[in-house]
């Protein structure tokens, strides 16, 4: 049920994307204290983006989950910004992260909802 989507304007090869997504999946599961078997990660294709009026490397992340707490959001903000910086070399000051707390009955999986 946790979902991470990342969009960036930086060209990233397929192998680096896979490494990033696998590390992110593990981190999400640990920080949210949920089984990784429910975590989904997605790396959108690179495309034009700007931040602060420039097209320097930037990233936008969306994290959705059921039951997000303020404490988890704070931990995830730091961890995901550090991960993007470490793995993709994007300055944390050029990263936005949007969080969404989804009601369990609004999240479908395996022919039912949570």
CATH class of the region 3-113: alpha beta
- Please give the full DSSP string across 61-89, using - where no structure is assigned: EEEEETT--HHHHHHHHHHHHHHHHHHH-
67-90: pLDDT as tens digits: 999 999 999 999 999 999 999 999
The domain locations on the chain are 3-113
Predicted model pTM: 0.94
Task: Give the per-residue pLDDT at 45.
Answer: 84
- Rg over alpha carbons for the chain, rounded to the nearest Å, is 14
The CB density around residue 95, as the number of other CB atoms within 10 Å, is: 21
């Amino acid at each position: 049920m946790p979902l991470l989507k990342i969009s960036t304007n930086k060209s990233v090869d397929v192998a680096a994307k896979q490494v990033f997504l696998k590390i992110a999946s593990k981190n999400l599961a640990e920080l949210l204290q949920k089984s990784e078997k429910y975590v989904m990660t997605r790396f959108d294709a690179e495309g034009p983006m700007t931040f602060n009026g420039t097209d320097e490397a930037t990233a936008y992340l969306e994290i959705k989950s059921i039951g997000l707490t303020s404490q988890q959001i704070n931990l995830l903000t730091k961890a995901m910004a550090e991960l993007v910086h470490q793995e993709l070399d994007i300055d944390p000051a050029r990263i936005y992260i949007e969080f969404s707390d989804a009601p369990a009955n609004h999240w479908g999986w395996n022919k039912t909802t949570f």
